[in-house]
Structure 1
Amino acid sequence: MRAAYEGRSASSRSKAVRSSSDCGSEELARARTSFLVDEPVAPGVVREPILASWTRSRHYDVDADRLELPYDSDISMDTVLTRAAGPIVREVADQLTSEPVSLILTDADGVVLDRRSGDGGLTHHLDRIWLAPGFSYAERYVGTNGIGTALEGRGPAQVFGHEHYAEHLEDLACAGAPIRHPVNGKVVGVVDLTCWRSDANMMMMAIASTVAKRIEETLLEQSGRRELALLHDYLIACQRGRGAVFALSDDLLMMNDRARELFDPADQGPLLAEAGEALKSGHRHQVLVDLPSGNTARIQLRPSWTEGDRTGGIAQVQLITNGAVPTPRVTGTTSALPAAVGSGALWTKCCQAVDRHFRSREWLVLEGEPGTGKTTIARATHQGRTPAAHLRVFDAEQLGPRWMAELTEELENGSGGTLVLEHIDRLDTEAVLALSDALEPHRESTDPERPWVVATVSTGSGDPGSGAGAAWRELLALFPSTVEVPPLRHHVEDVADLVPYLIARLTRGAELTCSPEAMRVLMRNRWPGNVEQLYQVLRKVVARRRTGVVTPADLPAETRAITRRVLTPLEAIECDAIVDALLDASGNKAEAARHLGMSRATIYRKIRGYGISMPTSG
């Protein structure tokens, strides 16, 4: 391969590879700028795969003028992929050591596992743009690039110069080839070659594809022994019993007919995730898993093979409800807690976990961003299980002379029920110590009338109990478990359930519905303020329309901005003003800029910064 790479003359190597759209030209740069400001892109200038990737990048809300990448400080270099790819990557890197190119290996999430280059200047530049081990170059973080676009398209991807979505990458050229596992066809990583745009070479894609093919051949050689052992154990498990049987590893999944009958896809995902994690212990054991459907599964696990942190094995599963074997379940996922609205997998799993702690009367901490519905879940669990029992909410933000005395009285009354302690992360050191003293005598009580105590803390307000030190740790020790409440953006599908529920609450049952067009606008948002922000938006809608159908025109201006954070009051005013100006100008940005007294460049920057989108239907 090195001979093929060196077979071109120096002048030929330095000539940039150009597509029919002349990738390094000013014309392509202008096309990219037009795309970023929602103007038409001239046909034939941008290659179709690149235009499709730009569209995905916009959908992911990637910042075009800055890089914001997640970093994994604990990447494992002892995996099936790295063991197969390591020797090959080292060999090819040695062959290319005199070339101005970097050879990169990533996993299936675009996280860089290995990067090798003999060019110091290129290496320094790649460090500056975080194209380095531990950082993910998936499209949802970086936009169009050889690694992320190969993963999204599940095929070879070449990206040159201004074809990159992020402007920090426009001086580079890259070619990425996906690595597919030979047993199941799943993409497990990418081989990428990156160089300066002026050094781009026609052989880059061929070399990347050849290296990927060699890694796939090595994976096939390594997989045979493990998969045969797993298949053997799976067949024996199926012959010995009539229950549900799964065989799983990182590369393979098998299930018998009974497993398909008992578990629909919505339940299979969480069940297999828990089973796969539990198998890593390398020992036979049993686990219980709460499923999104509301059922519970008892899983008997038996490893077939273990290599490093990789394991394959058999999971024999029994479906149980309150300890009894039920009849085969009916498909469909509805929340068992009617007041905690939502049926998405993450939300439902969270509700089921809280419900399980309630049934065992185990005190619990609910942790999540502000506005996610932590107290709502606690209330819903109480009302769903013991609607006639006593429930009391104590908000730490309202701490006063009577707060601790009333809490102590509730604990000592022995009337059972539920106590919710909101925002305990906002207590000062003295209050934290007093709360610990009040709770401690009741923590291990066997009194059946002992209340169930739930505390809520916010992940978005800094470290809980900051300044309390040991006192804070002592307080948390009273709560054996913590359940994380997911932010709304992680279960945005539940917006479709939340909107009619919240509208009904706000209108007290009046005939007001949300149109499909308005619902699409609401579901497109990231909701950094979570359910509370959605509630406040609908509150503004109901203030202006109490009956009929909500259309996009009825929605507040802020719903047109897809932001990643809660805006400051000043930013919110500015964002709303821009949206209103755009609506008045029928989407004409230049006209809106003139109306607001700002330059065209400034309004484009503001539109991108706030993530403002003007759908044609609205």
Structure 2
Amino acid sequence: MVQSKQGTARYERPDAGDNGQGAEFDVLTGAPVERIARARTSFLVDDPVEPGIVRTPILASWTRSRQWAVPADHLDLPYESDCDQDSLLARSATPIVCEVADQLGCEPVSVILCDDEGVVIERRTGDSALNQHLDRVWLAPGFSYAERYVGTNGIGTALEGLAPAQVFGHEHYVEHLEDLACAGAPIRHPISGKLLGVIDLTCWRREANRMMVAAVSTIARRIEEALLEHSGRRELALLHDYLAACQRNRGAVFALSDDLLMMNDRARELLDPRDQVPLLANAAEALNSGRHRQLLVDLPSGAIARVHCRPSWTEGGLSGGVLQVQLVSSDAAPSRSTLLPHPTTLPATVGSGPMWAKCCQAVGRHFRSREWVVLQGEPGSGKRTLARATHQLHNPAGHLRLLDAEDYGPRWVAEVIEELETGGSGTLVLCHVDRLSAEGVQALGDALEPHRESTDHERPWVVATVDRSRSQTSRELADLLDSFPRTVDVPPLRHHVEDVAELVPHLIARLTRGADLTCSPDAMRILMRNRWPGNVEQLYQVLRKIVAKRRTGQITPADLPPECRASTRRVLTPLEAIECDAIVDALLDTDGNKAEAARALGMSRATIYRKIRGYGISMPPMAESGRS
């Protein structure tokens, strides 16, 4: 066992050649090994990769590895000295790992158990040469083989893909792993479905065969069966109450705890996903009281839900219980001022997620009251589109003018003044006002000043769009934005990623002018697992690349560009996406100091470490240089 005092391991080795193996062929594709090695080299130097040589999952993993800036010429791994050897996964899986290792005792194969962050918990190897080699490449207890540290490998790639993965020889991203072959399979909790870890078989490349992935999948199923036997009383109590409620009640039934959500078919039919978020948030709070309660919850769709909350257990601030849900009409429920109107689809926008619907409703209210408004959000999030669509919905025959501050000059200011004086009850959209110079900000403020206090409903409705950035707003711009009594935050696409399912066909129709091109379910799942840092504009550009090559038929995962296939492990809920962004902002504000970031966010240091690992947050080099 090898360990670095600084908590990271680094291994480097001179070129090893082809190890004297002669002509050799890949186990799965049948391609010569040297051609895969050349394809990897081409990928690393940004040359085209010869089609048909590298499997699609491997190419996608290489792309993720490059985006994570994994070094291809050496290993640089984090080490955790306090990995949990007494977790539910370890207790359930260790006897099976030992049994399998004993059966393979005479074979050059290692059985490796890792947690959901790729940290090795247990390693059993009967072959001394293989055992020593695994030590040299730090594939040992306490070290993480997550993809973001090691690149393409059986452990990390199985975790990222949430499916069995097999990686042979030069398919590994880091060159010092080319003598190995590995197959990993994810392990899930049999009740909650939560990802707990991965089981991996690693051997010499020359000993690999096609049956490795089948064997490791069988071991994973055995471990999941053992997990079911070891499941805690809380999960079993909740499962018992849920099944009993489903038998007694033909309506919508949910089971809810801190890490578990189950629902019957009726719940899926009755409640749109956008309605489930506020319903479950209110119910979770009610379950924490530990008492049976009945709630009336206003839903974004305009409906009202009557929710019967029955706790199954409450311990240490956590709780779990069963929810029975009925939808009631507005007339049958008490009058509630917080009831949201049914969201109306805006003519030029697409999306029905709760965060996007709430944003659209807020902008619509300000239009009806003629209150000037600032729309602020990340570049590409749809601020201009939202302003234009709101005008088209409420005043389709009215005058609409969009002026971009990037065209600032004397003529631009004159056009603003002209619109304010002659635009009547139309709409004036001032785009990117944050990009104005100090002189431009002053000139625009002088133009707006005579009209901002007017109560004349015949004056134009003025909207300013601002790209949210981490740089501080200048004093002049802050004074200008004070002319606008309302500000609406336009959510980034990752906060309402469920709307990707509606945006994709809409954007495809725009790009193909109605041609018969659709997106397959598999490709849509990959698109929905992306973080989309460039928001809707980035999604549009990705689809434009696809449409340039395929105009009809069905888009499959093979049609997606590599940067699109390099997706996150799972789709974050809107609340998780917001929390992830808050943690990133706090880390940037504190130069990567995790303890300071935790204090700023009001969470413990252990919690922020766990969430950083869970969300896969990696900081840029300057931030990482800060104290942790």
TM tier, shorter chain?
A: 0.5 to 0.7
Is residue 497 of structure 1 aligned with residue 502 of structure 2? no
Mean alpha-carbon deviation: is it higher for 398-407 or for 215-224?
A: 398-407
Residue identity opposite 2:178 in structure 1: E
Q: 1:365 aligns with which of 355, 367, 375?
A: 375
Distance verdict in 2 for CA 1:81–1:123, change over 3 Å: closer
Is residue 514 of structure 1 aligned with residue 546 of structure 2? no
Alpha-carbon distance between aligned partners in 2 of 1:287 and 1:214, rounded to the nearest angstrom: 40
Is residue 354 of structure 1 aligned with residue 354 of structure 2? no
Residue identity opposite 1:290 in structure 2: P
Correspondence for 1:112: 118
Give 1:112 shift: 3.4
Alpha-carbon distance between aligned partners in 1 of 2:251 and 2:306, rounded to the nearest angstrom: 11
Distance verdict in 2 for CA 1:244–1:439, change over 3 Å: farther
Distance verdict in 2 for CA 1:169–1:348, change over 3 Å: farther
Alpha-carbon distance between aligned partners in 2 of 1:25 and 1:537, rounded to the nearest angstrom: 31
Deviations 1:413-436 (A, max 9, x none): 998775544223424467668889
Distance verdict in 2 for CA 1:283–1:519, change over 3 Å: closer
2:490 counterpart SS class = strand
Alpha-carbon distance between aligned partners in 1 of 2:212 and 2:400, rounded to the nearest angstrom: 70
Q: 1:132 aligns with which of 139, 144, 153?
A: 144
Check whether the contact 2:39–2:50 (CA below 8 A) recurs between aligned residues: yes
Correspondence for 1:85: 89
Deviations 1:225-277 (A, max 9, x none): 344246547867997x99744333444513374x35533xxx23x44455455
Correspondence for 2:493: 486
Residue identity opposite 1:396 in structure 2: A
Give 1:34 shift: 7.1
Structure 1 residue runs without a partner (length 5+): 1-15, 42-50, 72-76, 326-333, 505-512, 542-549, 554-559, 566-618
Residue identity opposite 2:118 in structure 1: V
Is residue 221 of structure 1 aligned with residue 222 of structure 2? no
Residue identity opposite 2:491 in structure 1: E
Correspondence for 1:426: 435
Is residue 379 of structure 1 aligned with residue 388 of structure 2? yes
Alpha-carbon distance between aligned partners in 2 of 1:27 and 1:183, rounded to the nearest angstrom: 43
Alpha-carbon distance between aligned partners in 2 of 1:297 and 1:313, rounded to the nearest angstrom: 21
Check whether the contact 1:396–1:427 (CA below 8 A) recurs between aligned residues: yes
Distance verdict in 2 for CA 1:274–1:335, change over 3 Å: closer
Alpha-carbon distance between aligned partners in 1 of 2:85 and 2:450, rounded to the nearest angstrom: 53
Check whether the contact 1:63–1:166 (CA below 8 A) recurs between aligned residues: no
Correspondence for 2:32: 27
Alpha-carbon distance between aligned partners in 1 of 2:82 and 2:478, rounded to the nearest angstrom: 35
Check whether the contact 2:283–2:307 (CA below 8 A) recurs between aligned residues: no
Give 1:192 shift: 3.8
Give 1:121 shift: 8.7
Is residue 176 of structure 1 aligned with residue 184 of structure 2? yes
Check whether the contact 1:68–1:142 (CA below 8 A) recurs between aligned residues: no
Alpha-carbon distance between aligned partners in 1 of 2:402 and 2:330, rounded to the nearest angstrom: 29
TM alignment of 1:228-377, pairs within 5 A: 228-229=237-238, 231-232=240-241, 244-249=252-257, 250-255=259-264, 257=266, 259-263=267-271, 267-268=272-273, 270-276=274-280, 281=285, 283=288, 288-290=298-300, 298=305, 300=307, 302=309, 304-305=312-313, 312-315=320-323, 317=325, 336-337=344-345, 339-340=347-348, 342=350, 351-361=356-366, 363=373, 365-370=375-380, 373-377=382-386
2:489 counterpart SS class = strand
Check whether the contact 1:418–1:453 (CA below 8 A) recurs between aligned residues: yes
1:67 counterpart SS class = helix
Distance verdict in 2 for CA 1:86–1:503, change over 3 Å: closer
Residue identity opposite 2:360 in structure 1: D
1:30 counterpart SS class = helix
Correspondence for 2:66: 67
Distance verdict in 2 for CA 1:286–1:186, change over 3 Å: same
Residue identity opposite 2:362 in structure 1: H
Check whether the contact 2:190–2:224 (CA below 8 A) recurs between aligned residues: no
Distance verdict in 2 for CA 1:101–1:519, change over 3 Å: closer
Distance verdict in 2 for CA 1:154–1:319, change over 3 Å: same
Check whether the contact 2:383–2:490 (CA below 8 A) recurs between aligned residues: no
TM-score, length-scaled by structure 2? 0.52
Give 1:380 shift: 1.2
Distance verdict in 2 for CA 1:290–1:414, change over 3 Å: farther
Alpha-carbon distance between aligned partners in 2 of 1:57 and 1:536, rounded to the nearest angstrom: 24
Deviations 1:120-155 (A, max 9, x none): 99678569xx98387658xxx955634434775745
TM alignment of 1:377-526, pairs within 5 A: 377-387=386-396, 391-400=400-409, 420-428=429-437, 454-458=463-467, 463=469, 466=471, 468=473, 481-486=488-493, 491=500, 494-501=503-510, 514=515, 516=517
Correspondence for 1:55: 56
Give 1:376 shift: 1.5
Residue identity opposite 2:300 in structure 1: D
Residue identity opposite 2:345 in structure 1: L
Alpha-carbon distance between aligned partners in 2 of 1:254 and 1:81, rounded to the nearest angstrom: 33
Question: What CA RMSD, in Å, does the superposition of the two structures yield over aligned residues?
Answer: 6.7
Distance verdict in 2 for CA 1:288–1:390, change over 3 Å: farther
Distance verdict in 2 for CA 1:150–1:532, change over 3 Å: closer
Correspondence for 1:562: 561
TM-score, length-scaled by structure 1? 0.52
Check whether the contact 2:169–2:205 (CA below 8 A) recurs between aligned residues: yes
Structure 2 residue runs without a partner (length 5+): 1-20, 41-47, 71-80, 102-107, 125-130, 290-294, 334-341, 553-558, 565-628
Residue identity opposite 1:357 in structure 2: A
Residue identity opposite 2:185 in structure 1: A
TM alignment of 1:185-204, pairs within 5 A: 188-192=196-200
